[in-house]
Amino acid sequence: MTVTATTPTARPATVTSRTGAAAVTGALVLLVAALAVVDITQGTAAVGPVEVLKALTGRADPADASVVVASRLPRMTAGLLVGAVLGMAGAALQAVSRNVLASPDTLAVNAGSYFALGLVAVTGVSLPFLASSGVAFAGGLAAAAVVLGLSGLGAGTVRLVLAGTALALGLTAVTEGLLLLFPQQTEGLYQWNQGNIGQNGFDGVVQMAPVAVVGLAGLLLIARRVDALALGDDAARGLGVPVRSTRVTAVVLATLLSAAAVTLAGPIGFVGLCAPALVRPLARRIRGFLRLRAAVPVAGLIGAALVLGADVLLRTFVAADTAVAVPTGVVTSLLGAVFLVVMAARLRDTAGAAAPDKLRIRSRRVFLTTLTVLVLVLVGTVIAAVLLGDSKLLLGDVVNWAQGRAGRTVSFVLDTRTPRVFAALLAGAALALAGTLVQAVTRNPLAEPSVLGVSGGGALGAVILVTTVPLAGAWSVAGAAFAGSAVTAVVVFGLAARGGFQQNRLVLVGIGVATATTALISLLIVLTDPFNATKALTWLSGSTYGRTLPDVLPLAAVLAAGIAVAAVRHRELDLVSLDEDTPRLLGLDLSRGRLGFLVVSVLLTATAVAAAGTIGFVGLVAPHAARALVGRRHTRVVPVALLLGAVLVCAADLLGRTVIAPAQLGAGLMTAAIGTPYFLYVLVRSRR
C-alpha cells in the first residue's frame, strides 16, 4: 500500500514541476522578447515601429536603417547581455555565499573594477576592449576577495553587504580623487560609472559575448557542487565536494561575468541583487528552480527583463532627448535601492540592538590629559591650515591681517582661506557629535550619518536647490539640506525602529537609502549640468572650496545648540546607550528622548553637508576613538569626539589643499580613505 500510494503522487509532482518550470521560462522569454521589440522602437530619431520593421526586412530608407542597425539594435543587445550576465552572477554569488544580499554591488565588484580602470586611465595608456575587461576583472576579483575574507560566508549574515559597502565607498572616493586630479586622462569615466547600455555598433557586444558564454558554462559545470554547499560545509565534504575550491571557482566565474557587464556598459546597479531575489518566490512553487543549474538561466532572463524594462520605462516617461542623457544604471540603482530597503525591513535580524563595546573606565587624569593633548593638536592644525596652502604665509601676516594692516595679496589669501578652515573645523565637530548621538541612541557601533543615508539626503536636498536656484544663499541651502536629511532620517529610523533599532536592519536600510540619494544626485547632475561632472564631484567629495563666513554661520549656530543639548542631557545619553529597560525603570520616556537626539543629529548632519559637502566616516571614527580614549561617559566622550572630528576634517582639508598643490582634493575623499579601513576594522572586531 505504501509503495502504491507513493508512486502516483511523486510522478505527477515531478511532471507538474517540469511543466511549471517550462511555462515560467517560456513566459520570461516572451517578456524579454516583448521588451526587446519595444526598446528597438524607442529613441531620439523619428524611427517608429514601421520603419524598424522595414529596416529589419531590408526595405527601409538607408538613414533609418543606419539608426536601427548602428544604434538601437546594439543598445538592445547590450541590455540583454548585461542584464543576463548580472542576473547569473548574482545567483551564483548568493548560492555560494548562502547570503540573499550577495551581488556584484554588495561585494564591491563594480567599485573594484571602477578603481582598476581609473588607475589605468591615469597612466594615459589606451587599452584594447578585451584588455580593459581584464583590468576590470582583476579589480573586481580583488575587491570581492577582500569582502568575502572580511565578512565570512556564514548563512544569513549581512556583514558581507556592510563590508562590501564600506570598501565600495573607499574605492569610489579614491577613484573620484583620481578623476579630479587627472581630468583629461579620465575624461568620460564619471559618466561611464553611472552605467549606460547605449552602444555605437556591435563591436563591444561581439567581444563580450564569448566571455559571458564561458562564465555561464563554468557555472553550469559546477552547479551540482554549489548545490551541495547549501547542505553545509561538513555535509558537502562528506559528499566529496571540495568546498574551498568550489567557492573560489564560483566567485571567479561570477566576477568574470560582472567584469564583462562593467566593461560593456559600466556598472548597472543592483540587477545582480534583484534578479535572484525574484527567482526565490518561483522556487517556492517550482522546486526545480532551487537548483543552480535551473536558477542561473532564469535569473539571467529576469536580469535581462530588468535592464530592458528600466530602459523602456525611462524612454516612455521621459522625453527622448532627455532620456538619452539619463544612464540606465541610475534607474536600476533607484529600483535596487527600494528593493534593498524592503528586503532589509523584512529581514530577520539576529544581531539585536547591542550595547557599545565594553571599555575600561578611564580616570579623570587620563581624560584631562587627553583633552589637553587634543586641544594642542587642534591649535597646531588650525595654525598650519591658516598658514599653508598654495601660498605660504607667516604668523606675522596673520597678525597684520587681523589688525587690518595686511597687503592686498595677504588679505585676499586669508579672506578666502580662513572661512575654509572654519568650515572644516565646524563640519568635523558637527559630524562627530551627530555620530555620537546616533550611536548612543541606536546602541549600534556601525551607525554613522553617511552610512545611514542622512548625509546623502542632505546632499540631495542641497544639490536640488543649487541646481534649480543657483543664486540661493547659505541659509537656503542649509534649509534644503535639512529637509533632505529629515526625509531620509524619517525613512531610515522609522523602518529600523521596529524591534528596537536592530543593528543589521538599521544599517542596511540606511545603505539602501544612501544608494537612492546617490542615484538621484547623479540624475540631477546629468539632467541639469551634464558637461560639468567636476563641479559635482567637488561638491560630493566634501570640499570647502569657495566657502565664505556667511556659509558657515548656520552650522555654527546649530553646533552650539547641539553641544548645549548634549551637555544638559548627558545623563540621559548615558542611560539610553545602556539598554531598553534601565531608562524606563528610572522614569525616562525612551521614545521621546530618542526622537530628540535624532532630530539634533539630523540638524547637525544637514548643516555640515550644506557647509562642506559630503564628508563620510567622521561620525564613525570620532565617537569610537573617543570611547576608546576616555570611556563611555558622555560628559567625556562628547568633548573628545568634538575635538577629534574637528582635527580629522581640518587635517584632511589641509592635506587635500597642500600635498598636491596647486591641485586640490576634497576633505571627504581624505576622510573616506581613512574611515574605510576603520569601518572594516570595527566590523571585524564586532564579529569577534
pLDDT digits (tens, 9 = 90+) for 522-540: 777 777 655 445 555 566 6
- Whether 622 has a pLDDT exceeding 60, the answer reads yes
H or E, element range at 496: helix 474-496
The domain segmentation of the chain, as residue ranges, is 18-321, 370-448+549-687
Least confident of 330-334, 462-466, 638-642: 462-466
The predicted model gives 157-185 an average pLDDT of 74
The pLDDT assigned to 86 comes to 92
Which residues make Cβ contacts (< 8 Å) with residue 521, sequence separation at least 6? 456, 459, 460, 463, 536, 540
The whole-angstrom separation of Cα 302 and Cα 65 is 30
Question: What local confidence, expressed as pLDDT, does residue 303 receive?
Answer: 92
CA atoms within a 13 Å half-sphere pointing along the CA-CB vector of 684: 12
Rounded-to-integer distance, Cα 330 and Cα 314, Å: 10
Confidence check: pLDDT of 203 > 80: yes
pLDDT tens by residue, 304-314 = 999 999 888 88
pLDDT of residue 1: 38
Residues 590-609: tens digit of each pLDDT? 667 777 888 888 889 888 88
Torsion angle (degrees, nearest 10) of CA 650, 653, 654, 660? 170
Which of 537, 686, 577 is CA-nearest to residue 172?
A: 537
| Residue of 93 and 673 predicted with greater confidence | 93
User: Which of 483, 508, 459, 497 minimizes the C-alpha distance to 338?
Assistant: 508
Q: What is the pLDDT of residues 290-336, one digit of tens each?
A: 888 888 999 999 999 999 998 888 888 777 777 777 778 888 888 88
Position 581 confidence tier, pLDDT thresholds 50, 70, 90: low
Averaged pLDDT score across all residues of the chain? 79
Percentages helix, strand, coil for the chain, rounded to the nearest 5?
75, 0, 25
**What CATH architecture does domain 18-321 belong to?**
Orthogonal Bundle (1.10)
Query: What predicted TM-score, i.e. pTM, was given to this entire model?
Result: 0.77
Percent of the chain with pLDDT over 90: 12
Tell the burial category of 662 from Cβ atoms under 10 Å away from its Cβ (0-12, 13-18, 19+): exposed
156: left (phi over 0), alpha (psi -120 to 50) or beta: left
Q: Please tell me what DSSP assigns to residue 662.
A: T
Long-range contacts of 9-12 (CB under 8 A, 24+ apart): none
SS3 351: coil
Higher pLDDT, 32 or 543: 32
Beta-carbon contacts of 383 under 8 Å, excluding residues fewer than 6 positions away, are 395
Rounded distance between C-alpha atoms, residue 105 and residue 93, angstroms: 11
Quick: pLDDT tens for 88-117: 999 998 888 877 777 887 788 888 888 888
| Cβ count within 10 A of residue 10 | 10
pLDDT at 661: 66
Comparing 534 with 77, the larger pLDDT belongs to 77
pLDDT range class, residue 282, cuts 50, 70, 90: confident
Q: At what angle do helices 73-97 and 203-221 cross, to 10 degrees?
A: 20
Level-2 CATH architecture, domain 370-448+549-687: Orthogonal Bundle (1.10)
Task: Identify the residue with better confidence: 449 or 371.
Answer: 371
